[in-house]
Amino acid sequence: MTRVPSHLHAGRPAGMRWLLPAMLLATLLAAGCSVIPPSNVKSNARLTPASNVTRDLAQLPEPKARIAVAVYGFRDQTGQFKPSPDSSYSTSVTQGAASMLVKALKDSGWFMPVEREGLQNLLTERKIVRAIESPNEKGKPLVNLPPLMPASMIIEGGVIAYESNVRTGGKGASYLGIGASTQYHVDQVTVIVRAIDIRDGQVLNTVSVTKTIYSYQFSANIYKFTSFQHLLQGETGYTTNEPAQLAVREAIELAVIHMTVQGVRDRFLDLKNDEDINAPIVQAYLTESMSNLNEDAGAEGSLVRRRSLLADDLVPPVQPLVPASAAKVAARARAAASAGRDNGRPPDPAASTGTDAAAATGPVAAAGRSAPTTPAAKPGAATEDIFGQYWKH
């Protein structure tokens, strides 16, 4: 039996003979684990997680009356696209901000969004409903199609800015081939929301909100010769990116909160209970908005009060526009149809079916169609304001 000369083992620890098999085993284990996805990567669909701002939005005090609002669009006005290697046609921010705004308005409990972004689809469906109505067919019930609800306010705005790498940084260290490092960068998105009174087109309030988007990366590596021709090399790490769409949603929700509480302070929105102006959540956001403008919020711990009723630029409270005469219009239509049958005349289809035109032109036009034998009166001082007949005092 041939023995290895002892001088070949000189200077080598006894445990080194097991190093190569151990490294080979570790490499195989690492290769086997690489085909197994990390935990929490694949999961079932769930509701979009709520942030602290989302919870504050749902906890606002109750309003005196919910205001119908219209959102025609909330566009991406940044003009920013994702950098390479992503597609040059992929935008940096979501294109569904209008849907986020509608949801935020509804979740606040203060507003009642009416469909305007897909208005053409809604009108097409209503035309289909009217087309299947057969008022001349006896015994067949008519489809009761009420007029569309008008909005008291229009909410406009958009995503106006997206800035990449507003702040970057990191740190790291390495010693004898063993090291670790961290890196981060901060992006910034800005949205602006404004409320418009449909009575005179006045901009009631404008709110601008900025949200940072934080990304973080950690990595560690080793590159070391354990012995002659024996190299140990490995690396690990992870990256965390805050979703941009969640940042946009949170910014929109915060803008809705500030628009609401500032509307209460400026008295164009009314609380159900006037004492709720002292609620902690309302006071916290009012103090934040006043501090942002370097306005004096009073001594520490003092409450922010509503504006004086004697202020010169005070806007009258926005009231919900409701088609209060819709029931009367329907009753007149049925009465006209009944009168036509009693007189031997065929019923008027326009008088016996729901009218979208009544929603578009107001109850004045609907009342005129319900009594076709009466000539329409010329608009005078008492009838010039069509919205006045919708206004709920």
177 and 58 housed in the same domain: yes
Identify the domain boundary among 271, 292, 313.
292
201 and 286 housed in the same domain: yes
pLDDT of 357-385, one tens digit each? 444 444 333 333 333 444 444 333 333 44
364 and 283 housed in the same domain: no
Nearest to 330 by CA among 359, 298, 304: 359
221 and 90 housed in the same domain: yes
Segments forming the whole domain that contains residue 338: 326-390
pLDDT of 12-23, one tens digit each? 455 555 555 555
Element (H, E) at 169: strand 153-175
Query: Is position 241 within any domain?
Result: yes
Q: What is the mean pLDDT of residues 105-119?
A: 94
Q: Which residues of 253-292 are buried (b: 16+ CB within 10 A; e: fewer)?
A: bbbbbbbbbbbbbbbbbebeeeeebeeebbbebbbebbee
Identify the domain boundary among 267, 292, 317.
292
Q: What is the domain-level CATH number for residue 179?
A: 3.40.50.10610
Which pLDDT does position 292 carry in this prediction?
81
Contacts of 312 (CB under 8 A, 6+ apart): none
Residue 40's region, left for phi above 0, alpha for psi from -120 to 50, else beta, is: left
Has residue 184 got a pLDDT over 70? yes
280 and 358 housed in the same domain: no
233 and 341 housed in the same domain: no
Please indicate whether residue 342 or residue 251 has the higher confidence score (pLDDT). Answer: 251
Identify the domain boundary among 292, 315, 345.
292
pTM of the predicted model over 0.75: no
pLDDT of 32-88, one tens digit each? 554 455 656 677 888 988 999 999 999 999 999 999 999 999 998 888 877 766 666
